[in-house]
Structure 1
Amino acid sequence: MRWLSFIPAAAALALSSCKLVHGPPEKRAEFPASHPAVHYVGRWEETADGDRRASWPGFYLSTGFTGRSIAVQIDDPGNYFNVHIDGEFQRVVRGPGNAGWVTLAKGLSPGSHSLRLARRNISFARPTEISRFALDEGSRLIDERSQPRLKIEFIGDSFTAAEGNEATAPTLPWERKFAVTDSEKGYAAMIARDLDAEYVTVCRSGNGVLCDWQGSRSSAMVERYGRTLMDERSPRWDFSCWTPDLVVISLGLNDRTGLARKDGSIREKDSANFRREYRRLIDTVRAAHPQARIVALSPYTPWAREQIGRVVTELGSPRVTYATFDEFPGGYVADGHPTVETHRKMADQILPQLPGLKPSRNRR
């Protein structure tokens, strides 16, 4: 799966490369977002007029096309997107702040090309909405999708969203993290590339199994898992749309923070509630995807490892396995989030623990 070429973070995020270019080709052929040649990966809503909307982190789309340029009509509050042409990273573009046209590539060689457009950052603002694509006059979209050998769903928090992974500062305001987040350089994307897999991330910064990092139990992941859009209760997600072979649940860090008392301890009652909700999340995933294998991936805190380990042991199912990743001192930025290098270490540690899976030869 040749869809990402790494470049230095500073180069990827230079303001000169993060251009907002409005307008499709002057003489153009337009195609709706619903065109069958466009492949959407992640949880996308199809609107009544055929547009596509998404808000869970890490979503992307791909298509083939002919001609020398391609533009997209998009309604987006200002998120950042990676543009890949013919399997190579080209540039970072930013959403227009409202509805408008954004040129993704121009001046290409004549002939056929491929596009991958991936949102880099998580956002709590309104969803991204794709309406139309524009090509040079006489050009067309081409369906280039192939059946993936493996599908993986990652359920998690800000670590899974790769929040702030390209930052250099130890702390940053929330919205300043957007420009220094690249979901395609997170551990989930790295594992997917290493396994030549198609992947979806269902993750939200601050969330946990039982509560968020502030202790609020109003929006735990078990309640959000059935949503098409991250922060909207409807529409509900149709699980038949995309069926993973493997589901990795990576939660517990925010629960540990949110449940801790002033002295750092956690009451056994709260630990028991966490285990109950973790089991409920596993049961929810199993009901949605009965054929999938599940990996309960514990973060590095001793409390999370103990609680999640107990859940897996008590389940006693060969289709639910336990895995973990370590803390890597010095490898965190932007309020305790892993750097790109730390995400690579996490991926390398997690991969051998995934049941029956081996990295492909073209590992990167």
Structure 2
Amino acid sequence: MKFHFKRVAAGVCILFLTVTAFTIHKDIPTELPATALFPYGRCLINKEHNLELISSAVHFGFSFEGKDCQVVASIANTQDRNYLQYELDGVYQKRIKVSKNSHVPLVISAGEDGKHIVWIYKATEAHTGAIIIEKIIGQSVKAIKPKSAPLIEFIGNSITCGAAADTSEVPCGTGEYHDQHNAYYAYGPRVARELKTNFILSSVSGIGIYRNWNSDAPVMPQVYEKADFQESSSAMWDFKLYTPRIVSIALGTNDFSNGDGLKKRLPFDSGIFVSSYIQFVQLVKSKYPVAQIALLSSAMVNGSNRILLQNCLLAVQKNIDELYPADKKVAVFFFEPMQATGCGGHPSVAEHAILAEELIPFFRKLLKG
């Protein structure tokens, strides 16, 4: 990476997550440093030469031989816990908690000898904090480059993050907000896997175009250029690292929100929403001039607000097409209404599958264009 956070790494507690007991091999394991990995998504190499996973579902792959391998991971002392999740030989396994002050080895066991492939994903979002990867240990361990394929960047809010979707371990109403995050099973990665594309998630819970769920700022246009989506961060994201074929933008749910019902909330302003959205699309186009822009509505916005949001997106589409007549026309997709059953009115893992099924024909058509 071309930049580093000014993040103090001293006091970071290194830990090894355990999936099963480690089998000691006769062959001497090799170590693959984080700097040799090929991560995909928002991340950075810090001053300790470790890999910091930032955005939702940022991922990397490696192969190893034998039955087991180890991943050396850590979180900052300011965090209590965070989550990884992984795929082994093409099959999703589970989320793994990364806790501070834990020194338990993370061992990924394949159960049988042979060559195996692992993909590690960050289950949570940027605002949950970075997960730091130091190295991979195993027999004949080698980094895997992501496949050569079109890229879709999914910009959005908590829905795009896969927030509050997975209650398999921590029920709704208990634990912390990120305890139910599952970015791997969010609609974007599902669409990408089905269509065999690469993907990046650029998403923040509670965020909107001109106002957030329960605050006026910072909104997505203010944080999109920051590497970790934090307005106060000095680290800027390097948009030259990736060239998306399609940039999907799914914002508006939080702009329509009534918030917590306690803080004063003005009525939704369609004029400000449309003008702010147009400016944000222009910002995205300045980063990716040849990308196809796709605007998604929200399955969580229903009733008269659903129609209003759709009309706003059509107004954005019309204005952008007029401003950039030589570019690809903006595509718009309207979700079917959904009464979500995940935590806090978010889609569950199963409901993300429904959202993805709706989107797959839409994105397949765009990829052919």
Bucket of the pairwise TM-score, normalised by the shorter protein: 0.7 to 0.9
Q: CA deviation at 1:353?
A: 2.7
Give runs of aligned pairs for residues 179-218 of structure 1, distance below 5 A: 179-214=179-214, 216-218=215-217
Cross-structure match for 1:34: 35
Distance in 1 (CA, whole Å) between partners of 2:58 and 2:266 is 37
Secondary structure in structure 2 of the residue aligned to 1:338: coil
Residues 1:225 and 2:224 aligned together: yes
Cross-structure match for 1:141: 141
Q: Which amino acid aligns with 1:116?
A: W
Stretch of structure 1 that moved more, 311-320 or 43-52: 311-320
Structure 1 unmatched runs, 5+: 1-17, 360-364
- Specify which of 115, 118, 123 is matched with residue 115 of structure 1: 118
**What are the superposed Cα offsets for residues 99-119 of structure 1, whole Å, 9 maximum, x if unpaired?**
756423136433321111112
Residues 1:350 and 2:351 aligned together: no
Cross-structure match for 1:311: 316
Change in 2 beyond 3 A, CA 1:102/1:42:
farther
Cross-structure match for 1:105: 108
Stretch of structure 1 that moved more, 256-265 or 235-244: 256-265
Q: CA deviation at 1:167?
A: 3.1
Give runs of aligned pairs for residues 71-110 of structure 1, distance below 5 A: 71-76=70-75, 77=79, 78-98=81-101, 100=103, 102-106=105-109, 108-110=111-113
**What are the superposed Cα offsets for residues 170-215 of structure 1, whole Å, 9 maximum, x if unpaired?**
x93484443433212111111111111111101011001111111x
**What are the superposed Cα offsets for residues 62-98 of structure 1, whole Å, 9 maximum, x if unpaired?**
1122333211221124222222221123343211325
Q: Which amino acid aligns with 2:32?
A: F
Percent identity over paired residues: 20
Secondary structure in structure 1 of the residue aligned to 2:352: helix
Distance in 2 (CA, whole Å) between partners of 1:29 and 1:53 is 21
Change in 2 beyond 3 A, CA 1:130/1:144:
closer
Structure 2 unmatched runs, 5+: 1-16
Cross-structure match for 2:13: none
Change in 2 beyond 3 A, CA 1:233/1:218:
same
Give runs of aligned pairs for residues 1-364 of structure 1, distance below 5 A: 28-35=29-36, 38-76=37-75, 77=79, 78-98=81-101, 100=103, 102-106=105-109, 108-122=111-125, 124-135=127-138, 139-167=139-167, 172-173=172-173, 175-214=175-214, 216-231=215-230, 233-257=233-257, 266=267, 270-299=269-298, 300=301, 301-316=306-321, 318-329=328-339, 331-354=340-363, 356-357=365-366
Secondary structure in structure 2 of the residue aligned to 1:319: coil
Change in 2 beyond 3 A, CA 1:195/1:60:
same
Contact 2:64 2:115 in 1 (8 A): yes
Contact 2:61 2:146 in 1 (8 A): no
Contact 2:165 2:346 in 1 (8 A): yes
Q: CA deviation at 1:48?
A: 2.3
Contact 2:186 2:352 in 1 (8 A): yes
Change in 2 beyond 3 A, CA 1:260/1:122:
closer
Secondary structure in structure 2 of the residue aligned to 1:322: strand
Q: Which amino acid aligns with 2:238?
A: D
**What are the superposed Cα offsets for residues 20-39 of structure 1, whole Å, 9 maximum, x if unpaired?**
6798969643221001xx22
Change in 2 beyond 3 A, CA 1:94/1:206:
same
Cross-structure match for 1:362: none
Secondary structure in structure 1 of the residue aligned to 2:107: strand
Change in 2 beyond 3 A, CA 1:24/1:344:
same
Stretch of structure 1 that moved more, 88-97 or 239-248: 88-97
Secondary structure in structure 2 of the residue aligned to 1:356: helix
Contact 1:69 1:106 in 2 (8 A): yes
Cross-structure match for 1:8: none
Contact 1:68 1:106 in 2 (8 A): yes
Q: CA deviation at 1:351?
A: 2.5
Distance in 1 (CA, whole Å) between partners of 2:23 and 2:209 is 44
Contact 1:32 1:131 in 2 (8 A): yes
Cross-structure match for 1:4: none
Distance in 2 (CA, whole Å) between partners of 1:264 and 1:345 is 32
CA RMSD across the alignment:
3.1
Q: CA deviation at 1:148?
A: 2.9
Q: CA deviation at 1:260?
A: 12
Q: CA deviation at 1:324?
A: 1.5
